[in-house]
Chains A and B, each alone.
Chain A
Amino acid sequence: MNSSLSDSSLQDRRDRHRSKSRDSSSRGDKSVTIQTPGEPLLDAESTRGDDRDDNWGETTTVVTGTSEHSISNEDLTRATKDLEDSTPLQCKRFIGPVLGGCLSFFALITPLAFLILPQVLWRDDLEVCGTPCEGLYVSLAFKLLVLLISSWALFLRPPRATLPRFFVFRCLLMVLVFLFVASYWLFYGVRVLEPRERDYRGIVEYAASLVDALLFIQYLALVLLEVRHLQPAFCLKVVRSADGASKFYNVGHLSIQRAAVWVLDRYYSDFPVYNPALLNLPKSILSKKITGFKVYSLDENTTNNSTGQSRAMIAAAARRRDNSHNEYYYEEAEMERRIRKRKARLVVAVEEAFTHIKRLHKDEATSSPKHPREEMDPREAAQAIFAPMARAMQKYLRTTRQQAFHSMESIISHLQFCITHNMTPKAFLERYLTPGPTMQYQQQNGGGRQWTLVSEEPVTSALRQGLVFSLRRLDFSLVVTVTPLPFLRLGEEFIDPKSHKFVMRLQSETSV
């Protein structure tokens, strides 16, 4: 068994999956098989094993999807997902920022060029310009510095999303800057370079006015790109189509594509991770469906009215007594109980495991030579205490269908992290007891996630009431509904602090 683990080809993977599942369930308390990183703890088939429990050998039949050398559907989707998730960096995503960077560099160089060119080309002809020019030089220098710093602070950030259409405001601003600088150059070329203008002070003032104008454009950019959408105006309801997880967010005035990016930012840290294994009702409940009423029409001259027939069948099915809700209820209760039992075992196992190690302080390092203690670094300590809790952890993860998210390697490294930071067993377990946000399970790669924005309106139009768009991923989508925030009429009522007075209740009078 262990020798086959050393290969990592796709073919052996499936063998390993199946052999591993039987292996770990029977030998989990005696030995630990260390695997190559990235391997899930249990095989892919167990995500479909609704009817699999501890006694799988003696009760129900287990449906397995793979044979020795075929590839299951889930392997395929997983392979494509991995491939897509780790696409290499696309060049397309850097075009916008690079263009903007070039433009702003050009715009910043321009005033300096305006000043330097006359000096270089016709220095002798220039009129001497004393103190006023020097004052202008100082102000020009500081304004350029401010422009530089604020451009760095605001705009020089790696882009976080590529939008399907042009980002209207950004394009507008770039066009504005370009036109501005181009028209200044035009004027400069025609009026200064050609006739070799001698009034140097005028040229310096002209450069200073360009820098002022650039500052104002930057103010405009700040307002349009950063500030305008800060005041909340709409309430977005985001619902995940697969399992109904929903959240409400307040956003300002944004276009649909910007709002989509905003929502996706929040999605990764607010929504619990999408677990496809948790979705379906057990097949045993759903399978007792209509066995079918056959409808025969005895009339010879009626046409075959199929809608009438199907309607009759549906009505008949609705009138039947359907007890599947009963089974669903009991199944749910049973599942709850099982999860609680496994959770209790897991918590006890982890607590016990954590008592096996303790932190070595520096002054205890020189202990008596009679009892030499083996010093371990966090990784070894984690591996040492992982063994007693491995089985309970694996069973718990399997019951809550989370085993696809946590590989053994990830559990050991999380354990190492917790030990290093002096966390209690409960802190270690919080990652496994509740399904965290999707960010927790992301591997860091530069490829980025592919989402598709589906909308009936053009995606650069602004948000307004009643708009609905959805963000689609491979197997689920987020449906976003827009409602405006209500207008608040705030009134005022002044209460004099001296007006708080009390009396005994008046004699009440009752008529009899």
Chain B
Amino acid sequence: MSFVPGQPVTAVVERIEIQKLSQGPNLVLGFCIGGGIDQDPGQNPFSDDKADKGIYVTRVSPGGPADVAGLKIGDKIMQVNGWDMTVVTHDQARKKLTKKNEHVVRLLVTRKTLEEAVKQSMSRPGPS
């Protein structure tokens, strides 16, 4: 996850599709988010760059829909159903995730291990 000011952000992302679970009147996804452009980025334990104001996954409830779909703690969410999550406030992010009439959310998430995996596969001599 490199961020050079003035350049477009590039990242290796994984696509995760979560089915919302209905608990009573609510639809839950089973994880917690933190971060946003209105929050203090220095408090974020998961980010490398302490100036990164993106949305991060802070907790995943075990056995919940997010866990089943493969979301890991510390992931940074880049997009939700096509909506950008890198420059949003905390509340906007929450709203995009908890829309009542959507039962599926498709996230693009990134984590450090993804980049490393891609680097390793690039440095290894590929199949010819």
Q: Which of B8-16, B28-36, B115-123 contacts A (4 or more CB under 8 A)?
A: B28-36
| A511 on the B face (CB < 8 A) | yes
- Which residues does chain B contribute within 8 Å of A507, judged by CB atoms? 34-35, 39-40, 43-44, 58
Residues on B with beta carbons closer than 8 Å to the beta carbon of A508:
34, 39, 90
> How far is the CB of A506 from the nearest CB of chain B, in Å?
6
| 15 residue pairs from A and B, CB less than 8 Å apart | A504-B40, A504-B43, A505-B40, A506-B40, A507-B35, A507-B39, A508-B39, A508-B90, A509-B33, A510-B90, A511-B32, A512-B32, A512-B33, A512-B94, A512-B97
**Which residues from chain B contact A505 at a C-beta distance below 8 Å?**
39-40
Nearest CB in chain B to that of A505: its residue: B40
Instruction: Report chain A residues within 8 Å CB of B44.
Output: 507
Proximity bits, A249-275, B CB within 8 Å = 1, else 0: 000000000000000000000000000
Complex Cα distance, B27 from A511, in Å, reads 11
1/0 per position for A478-512, CB-CB distance to B under 8 A? 00000000000000000000000001111111111
> A505-B40, A507-B35 are known contacts; what are 6 more A-B pairs with Cβ within 8 Å?
A506-B43, A509-B59, A510-B90, A510-B94, A511-B28, A512-B32
Q: Which residue of B lies closest to A511 (CB)?
A: B32
**Which single residue of chain B is at the shortest CB-CB distance from A506?**
B43
- The B95-109 residues at the A interface (CB cut-off 8 A) are 97-98
Minimum C-beta distance from A504 to chain B (A): 4
Is there contact, CB below 8 Å, between B34 and A512?
no
A512 touches B40 (CB 8 A): no
Inside 8 A of B90's CB, which chain A residues have their CB? Answer: 508, 510
* Closest Cβ–Cβ distance, residue A503 to chain B (whole Å): 8
Contact partner of A509 (CB less than 8 A), chosen from B28, B42, B58, B98, is: B58
Number of interface residues, chain B, beta carbon within 8 A: 18
**Are the CB atoms of A511 and B39 closer together than 8 Å?**
no
In the bound assembly, the distance between CA atoms of A370 and B90 in angstroms comes to 88
Bound form: Cα–Cα A503–B32 in Å:
23
Residue of A nearest to B98 (CB): A512
Chain A residues lying within 8 Å of B59, measured Cβ to Cβ, are 509, 511
**Residues from chain B with Cβ under 8 Å of A509 in the complex:** 32-34, 58-59
Q: Is the CB of A511 within 8 A of B31?
A: yes
B31 contact from A503, A504, A506, A512, Cβ within 8 A: A512
B31 partner residues in chain A, CB cutoff 8 A: 511-512
Q: How far is the CB of B83 from chain A (nearest CB, A)?
A: 14
B43 pairs with A512, CB closer than 8 A: no
Task: Encode B22-54 as 1/0 by CB contact (under 8 A) with A.
Answer: 000000110111110001101110000000000
Give the distance to chain A from B48, nearest Cβ to Cβ, in Å: 16
CA distance A508 to B93 in the complex (A): 12
A505-B38 Cα distance, complex, nearest whole Å: 9
Q: When chains A and B are docked, how far (Å) is the Cα of A512 from the Cα of B57? A: 10
Q: Which residues of B contact A510 (CB under 8 A)?
A: 32-34, 90, 94
**Chain A residues with Cβ under 8 A from B43's Cβ?**
504, 506-507
In angstroms, Cα B40 to Cα A503, docked, is 9
Q: Which residues of A contact B33 (CB under 8 A)?
A: 509-510, 512
Cα of A506 to Cα of B36 in the assembled complex, Å:
11
Closest 8 CB pairs of A and B: A504-B40, A511-B32, A512-B97, A507-B43, A507-B34, A509-B34, A512-B29, A510-B94
CB–CB A512/B39 < 8 A: no
Interface centre among A504, A507, A509, A512 (most CB of B within 10 A): A512
- For the complex formed, measure the closest distance between the CB of B66 and the CB atoms of chain A, giving whole angstroms: 9
Min CB distance A250 to B, Å, is: 50
Q: Which of A350-364 contact B (CB under 8 A)?
A: none
Q: Contact flags (1/0) for B54-66 with A, using CB distance below 8 Å?
A: 0000110000000
| A20 vs B70: C-alpha distance when bound (angstroms) | 102
Report the separation of the CA atoms of residues A508 and B44 in the bound assembly, to the nearest whole angstrom. 10
Question: CB-CB < 8 A to A512: which residues of B?
Answer: 28-29, 31-33, 94, 97-98
| CB nearest to B66 among chain A residues | A512
- The answer for the CA separation of A510 and B31 in the assembled complex, in Å, is 9
Report the bound CA distance from A506 to B39 in whole Å: 7
